[in-house]
Structure 1
Amino acid sequence: MKNNLGAVAENRRTAKSDSAFRTISEAAKELGLQQHVLRFWESKFPQIKPMKRAGGRRYYRPEDLILLADIRTLLHDQGYTIKGVQKLLDQHKGKLPSEIAVTSLAETANTSLADSPNTGVAANASFKTDKLMLTNLLGELESLQGILKLTLQDIKKNP
């Protein structure tokens, strides 16, 4: 005769609390990413510092997962480049500004769209998200323009 005790015990073993540390495979699965992407991001973003145990096994803290989720949203959903996200992190002392974190206007609009027939709210949220993305892009372009102007002045002085 079969019982459910094994299945119940298995669920208890695999279920982790929100405050528990995650291995790289667990973190990758939660974030919907491949493990090599997390390793690559570690090399590009010094703010991502998982704990490493003997043998080099990585353990991600809950705050690491939040930062990784924010980075994933910026790169995959909002169209930022790695350099753009690096610049944001540098400008804000290793943290991402709340207006472009994972709980951004775009995600708020997406979750409320399913529950709300009011399309005006969704259009307004979409407009705000587009405006935010364009403002960030404008900032990056202005920064590049400044670099180009300095380079051009340098070339004119030292042909």
Structure 2
Amino acid sequence: MKTNLGAAAGTSRRTAKSDSAFRTISEAAKELGLQQHVLRFWESKFPQIQPMKRAGGRRYYRPEDIEFLASIRTLLHDQGFTIKGVQKLLDQNKGKLPGEITVNAAEVEPVQRVGLQSGVAQSSSVDKAALGTVLGELQELQVILRDGLNDIKKNP
């Protein structure tokens, strides 16, 4: 006669960890809504992310690591920062993220997103008129490139 002790024991177990508990990479990824490889990649790009590693290389993330990762996720995924943009933000703030980011990424990095380096994009007090001029020039170039591509398609 078999008894199902495991099922009964499983119902009384806690399924959620306390806020102060360490998390494995799979738990951290699930909590942040990311893939595990993204967390490993971010470790290579942000030296501030240093999960504790046990024998065998298994990662354990502290609560402050999770908070830091959540901030990076917000900057990259929600506010549109680039990795280089977040790295610059960290450099400007001595390795820490400001408590609240009041500057929208669209105001800080619009030129960097298209792969151009510009003093205008690096300034914290962005000159919107200069950005408008750059945007206008880029749109004109886009039209020129489209016309050239259409000409090539018509006359190969």
TM-score grouping bracket, smaller chain normalisation:
0.5 to 0.7
Find out whether 1:142 has 2:119 as its counterpart.
yes
Following superposition of structure 1 onto structure 2, how do residues 1-159 of structure 1 map, counting pairs within 5 Å? 5-10=8-13, 12=14, 14-100=15-101, 132-137=104-109, 141-142=118-119
* 1:17 partner SS: coil
- Displacement of 1:135 after TM fit? 4.0
Q: Give unpaired runs (5+ residues) of structure 1.
A: 101-128, 147-159
- Please identify the structure whose Cα radius of gyration is greater: 2
| Alpha-carbon spacing, 1:134–1:67, altered in 2? closer, same or farther (3 Å) | same
**Percent of aligned positions with the same letter in both sequences?**
71
Deviations, residues 123-148 of structure 1 (Å, cap 9, x unaligned): xxxxxx6x6334433797426679xx
* 1:8 partner SS: helix
Letter in 2 for 1:142: G
Instruction: From the two aligned structures, give the one with the greater helix fraction.
Output: 1
Distance 2:122 2:105 in 1: 18
Deviations, residues 100-125 of structure 1 (Å, cap 9, x unaligned): 2xxxxxxxxxxxxxxxxxxxxxxxxx
Q: How many residues align?
A: 115
Q: TM-score, normalised by structure 1?
A: 0.63
- Displacement of 1:98 after TM fit? 1.6
| Alpha-carbon spacing, 1:145–1:2, altered in 2? closer, same or farther (3 Å) | closer
Distance 1:74 1:145 in 2: 16
| Alpha-carbon spacing, 1:97–1:145, altered in 2? closer, same or farther (3 Å) | closer
- Displacement of 1:90 after TM fit? 1.0
Root-mean-square deviation (CA), in Å?
A: 2.8
| Alpha-carbon spacing, 1:39–1:135, altered in 2? closer, same or farther (3 Å) | same
Distance 1:87 1:30 in 2: 26
Deviations, residues 59-88 of structure 1 (Å, cap 9, x unaligned): 000000000000000000000000000111
